[in-house]
């Protein structure tokens, strides 16, 4: 297998892990089952996203760097930490892997009438207005996606510096993603990742596809801002 294909496959596997772990927890583990109380709430879902990224980072980080997010790939490309020729392989792998991960959750959820009824209108998709968990507006969703994706990619870029302690990247980015979800799940179910948003929207098949453009465009803008901000302040010898 050549290096480009290896990167695409690794990114597909990693993104599938993220979608199964993150949206999978939101879809399968936050409903009522046999009268029991909810197994996890916002904290549980936020931790699921962070832990999924953490384990994926250690699983495929040595192969592709574990971007598993188009905003990360494009941000690192903008500061010359990802080769332009590799970008399509990263992004195609991420989108395909995300959809495959969404398909796994879709099939599992459909096997339970309770789980399916509880989630069929949303499927953990990102949304604003009446589809925001907290009723937040389009403007709020745009600001959240730009700011939190910028912060996320700024942190990721920081872990590539020479002075970064070896082996700590997975922990740092996993905790960063957890924090971002804790803050922004009520706003729009937290995207900061177009591949994650696509993965759930294609199975929701309704309003999520109509609002999907927000969660593709603005995380990418935020990612570029975060990466360029890091490049502007980091010392060249540490970059």
Give 40's pLDDT tier (boundaries 50, 70, 90): confident
Give the mean model confidence (pLDDT) for residues 192-220: 96
Cβ atoms of 71 and 220 closer than 8 Å = yes
Q: How confident is the model at residue 38 (pLDDT cuts 50, 70, 90)?
A: low
Q: Which domains does the chain have, with CATH numbers?
A: 3-233 (1.20.1080.10)
Distance of CA 216 to the CA centre of its chain: 11
pLDDT of residue 115: 65
The residue among 37, 61, 40 whose CA lies nearest residue 49 is: 40
Give the pLDDT mean for 32-53: 81
**Angstrom distance (rounded) from CA 220 to CA 95:** 14
Residue 32's pLDDT is 55
Q: Give 29 or 156, the one with higher predicted confidence.
A: 156
Q: Between 100 and 113, where is the model more confident?
A: 100
Nearest to 45 by CA among 149, 144, 124: 124
Average pLDDT, the chain: 92
pLDDT at 37 over 70: no
Return the structure tokens found at 235.
């010392």
Is 90 exceeded by the pLDDT of residue 193? yes
Confidence band (pLDDT; 50, 70, 90) for 213? very high
Asked if the model's pLDDT at residue 119 lies above 90, the reply is no
Judged against a pLDDT cut of 70, whether residue 120 lies above it is answered with: no
At 235 the pLDDT is 80
Give the separation between CA 78 and CA 140, rounded to whole angstroms: 26
The CA distances from residue 199 to 22, 38, 94, 203, in Å, are: 11, 24, 10, 7
pLDDT band at residue 17 under the 50/70/90 scheme: very high
Closest-CA residue to 24 (of 113, 136, 101): 101
The per-residue pLDDT for 1 is 77
Tens digits of residue pLDDT in 149-188: 999 999 999 988 777 777 889 999 999 999 999 999 999 9
């Amino acid at each position: 297998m050549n290096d480009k294909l290896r990167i695409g496959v690794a990114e597909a596997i990693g993104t599938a892990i993220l979608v199964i772990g993150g949206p999978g927890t939101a879809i399968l583990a936050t409903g009522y089952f046999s009268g029991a109380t909810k197994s996890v709430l916002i904290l549980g879902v936020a931790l699921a996203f962070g832990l999924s990224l953490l384990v994926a980072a250690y699983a495929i980080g040595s192969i592709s760097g574990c971007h598993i997010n188009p905003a990360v790939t494009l941000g690192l490309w903008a500061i010359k930490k990802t080769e332009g020729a590799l970008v399509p392989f990263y992004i195609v792998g991420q989108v395909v892997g995300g959809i495959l991960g969404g398909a796994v959750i879709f099939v599992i959820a459909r096997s339970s009438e309770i789980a399916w009824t509880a989630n069929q209108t949303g499927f953990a998709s990102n949304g604003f207005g009446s589809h925001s968990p907290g009723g937040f507006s389009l403007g709020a969703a745009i600001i959240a996606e730009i700011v939190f994706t910028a912060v996320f990619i700024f942190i990721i870029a920081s872990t590539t510096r020479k002075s970064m302690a070896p082996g700590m990247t997975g922990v740092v980015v996993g905790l960063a993603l957890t924090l971002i979800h804790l803050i922004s799940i009520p706003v729009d179910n937290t995207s900061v990742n177009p591949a994650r948003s696509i993965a759930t929207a294609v199975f929701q098949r309704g309003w999520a596809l109509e609002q999907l453009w927000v969660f593709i465009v603005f995380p990418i803008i935020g990612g570029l801002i975060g990466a360029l901000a890091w490049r502007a302040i980091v010392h060249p010898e540490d970059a």
